[in-house]
């Protein structure tokens, strides 16, 4: 699967969002 797990992706998404 992807190198980044879904949880990490969600965390990253929240990181870039204000």
- The pLDDT value recorded for residue 18 is 76
Cα–Cα distance, 16 to 18 (Å, whole number): 7
Residues 6+ apart with CB under 8 A from 4: 12
pLDDT digits (tens, 9 = 90+) for 1-18: 678 899 999 999 999 987
Q: How many CA atoms lie within 13 A of 5 on its CB side?
A: 2
- The pTM for the full model equals 0.16
pLDDT, residue 1, reads 63
Q: In the prediction, which pLDDT does 6 show?
A: 93
Runs of H (alpha helix) within the chain: 6-16
Rounded CA separation 9/16 (Å): 11
């Amino acid at each position: 699967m992807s190198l980044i797990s879904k949880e990490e992706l969600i965390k990253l998404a929240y990181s870039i969002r204000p």
